[in-house]
Amino acid sequence: MSRLLAIDYGLKRVGIAVTDPLQIIATALETVPAKQLINFLISYCKKEEVEAFIVGKPLDLNLQKTDSTDAVYKFVKLLKKTFPKHTVHLHDERFTSKMALDAMIRGGSTKKDRRKKENIDKVSATIILQSFMESQLYNK
């Protein structure tokens, strides 16, 4: 089997998480500057087999677009063009930043670590990926 890779896309930073090859466990991988994301993904996909990309879809509480939604759709278009053989899924990312911060607190991370937004981005990507995997189990 191959990995699933989740992306919590932001205009400045992008959190990335991946599964193990058996797609059982989601793990935070990296936070990269948005401008370097495609090059990072190309390099990563040369080393690891990736089955699909899961991109966080930003929506507000009323399921309406946010300020970030258009940027995410533009990125998804570029992702599909760069990786035409890979499936790209959009997955609801509402509350993931709050959930990430809560998880870091429960996990005992220091206040200094929680202030680093790149750490929250990685954990948010992990939550997006875990949520996607769980939704796939329910849809089978």
pLDDT digits (tens, 9 = 90+) for 76-116: 999 999 999 999 999 887 655 555 545 545 555 555 554 55
CATH code, domain with 89: 3.30.420.140
Token couple for 13: 């930073």
Q: What's this model's pTM, rounded to 2 decimal places? A: 0.84
3-state secondary structure at position 20: coil
Please answer whether residues 100 and 127 qualify as being in contact, where contact means their C-beta atoms are separated by less than 8 angstroms: yes
pLDDT number for residue 28:
92
Residue 3: pLDDT band by 50, 70, 90 thresholds? very high
Token couple for 121: 């981005």
pLDDT number for residue 72:
93
Please answer whether residues 2 and 21 qualify as being in contact, where contact means their C-beta atoms are separated by less than 8 angstroms: yes
pLDDT in tens, 49-78: 999 999 998 876 677 777 778 899 999 999
Across the range 122-128, mean pLDDT stands at: 86
pLDDT number for residue 13:
92
Q: What percent of the chain has pLDDT over 70?
A: 76
pLDDT number for residue 123:
78
Helix (H) and strand (E) counts for the chain? 5, 5
Q: What percent of the chain has pLDDT over 90?
A: 56
**Cα separation, 28 vs 23, whole angstroms:** 14
Domain encompassing residue 133: 3-138
- One-character DSSP codes across 38-105: HHHHHHHHHHS-EEEEEEEE-B-TTS-B-TTHHHHHHHHHHHHHH-TTSEEEEEE-TTHHHHHHHHHH
pLDDT number for residue 97:
56
Domain count, the chain: 1
